[in-house]
Amino acid sequence: MGPGNLTTVQAFILSGLTANHNVELALFVLFTAIYALILIGNILIVITITYDHDLHTPMYFFLSNLSFIDVCHSTVVMPKMLADFLAETKSISFGECIAQMFFLHLFACTEIFLLTIMAYDRYAAICHPLHYTTIMSHRVCLRLAVAMWLGGLLHSIALTTLTLSVPYCGPNTIDNFFCDVPLVIKLACTNTYIFEILIVSNSGVISVVCFIVLVISYVVILVSLRNRFSEGRRKALSTCVAHLMVVTFFLGHCIFIYLRPAKSLAADKVVSIFFTAVTPLLNPVIYTLRNEDMLNAMNKLRDKMAFAWLLDAK
């Protein structure tokens, strides 16, 4: 049943994080700072990796993709959330809501695939170091990048089409601070049981399968590290732990939200904050402040920019 002549909802009302305006003002300051740090940190990583040829390796190629996706992913949700902190009525038009869902799932699903690829990259580097350059050649990396973006696009198109295939005639209140497929589709004025099963089959299964693959990859890596020298083992373990932290926060949200029926829980908003704001902020901290190669590259880039500025000043 298409929404063409039955959908009467022109806009949705978002409940937001809180109804207390004073708390909203405090949250506005907090999340403005978080969003600024997300942009600065992730964009700096992309620029550093782009300009430093020593970082043109598979690991940093995928890391630059991760930073780019985090900028896009947080931008889909956070500017609207910040604006709503200052607004009396937190409304979003039907078209804007659909667009937000589309891009949210595009970047989120692409990041899931990317995190899985990064785990495979670490597996190849640690468990098969002699064949690493062949396994993760430039051509292979490009093909994997194209595959993850296409996979995210197909996933997003499928869920957006599913959402648009049902009519909406009220109610129109979404119990969160952004539009998401389970939250919107339960507002449809028709039986959505089959659609909820399809959402679980799509998003939930993707999250669980990728999480299982990631866990298996790291178990294999940890087993192979038993016979390594202490310094090499320490560095590899540090990388794996950092990656697992990101995976746990990100995929934990996806499994929690999409592997159950479309029903609002008290924890949903807290979990969504980690999904949209905390994880994109963690990536620069984990991959930059704990990474000696990245810090050295950033220092070189800073010195180069300072030198160029001095030349221009003269």
Least confident of 5-9, 70-74, 231-235: 231-235
Tokens coding 97:
């809501």
What CA–CA distance (Å, rounded) separates 291 from 242? Answer: 10
Which are the contacts of 185, defined by CB distance < 8 A and separation ≥ 6? 162, 163, 166, 192, 195, 196, 199, 262
If you ran DSSP here, which 8-state letter would residue 202 be given? I
Residue span of the structural domain in which 279 resides: 11-303
What CA–CA distance (Å, rounded) separates 88 from 84? Answer: 8
pTM check: above 0.75: yes
- Is position 270 within any domain? yes
> Which residue shows structure tokens 């996806």?
254
What CA–CA distance (Å, rounded) separates 36 from 16? Answer: 20
Neighbours of 192 (CB within 10 A): 19
pLDDT per residue over 49-66, tens digit each? Answer: 998 888 899 989 999 999
pLDDT at site 313: 62
pLDDT at site 122: 85
* pLDDT at residue 42 tops 60: yes
Q: What is the DSSP string of 13-70?
A: EE--S-S-HHHHHHHHHHHHHHHHHHHHHHHHHHHHHHH-GGG-SHHHHHHHHHHHHH
- Is position 246 within any domain? yes
pLDDT per residue over 250-295, tens digit each? Answer: 777 777 777 766 666 667 788 888 888 888 888 888 777 777 788 8
- Is position 29 within any domain? yes
pLDDT at site 196: 80
16: left (phi over 0), alpha (psi -120 to 50) or beta: left
What CA–CA distance (Å, rounded) separates 123 from 243? Answer: 12
Return the SS3 of 274: helix
pLDDT at site 307: 66
> In degrees rounded to 5, what are phi and psi of residue 179?
-85, 135
- Is position 219 within any domain? yes
What CA–CA distance (Å, rounded) separates 249 from 288? Answer: 18
Return the SS3 of 225: helix
Q: Residue 299 — pLDDT band, cuts 50, 70, 90?
A: confident
- Is position 195 within any domain? yes
Q: Considering its fold, how many domains does the chain have in total? A: 1
- Is position 3 within any domain? no
- Is position 4 within any domain? no
**Of residues 191 and 147, which shows the higher confidence score?**
147
**Of residues 9 and 232, which shows the higher confidence score?**
9
What's the mean per-residue pLDDT of the chain?
Answer: 84
What CA–CA distance (Å, rounded) separates 107 from 103? Answer: 6
CATH number at residue 253: 1.20.1070.10
pLDDT at site 250: 78
pLDDT at site 314: 60
Among residues 292, 279, 301, 303, the alpha carbon closest in space to that of 67 is found at: 279
Percentage of residues in the chain having pLDDT higher than 90? 37
Most confident of 33-37, 189-193, 225-229: 33-37
Give residue 67's identity as a one-letter amino acid code. Answer: S
pLDDT per residue over 73-101, tens digit each? Answer: 999 999 999 999 998 889 999 999 999 99
CA 135, chain centre distance (Å): 26
Give residue 146's identity as a one-letter amino acid code. Answer: V
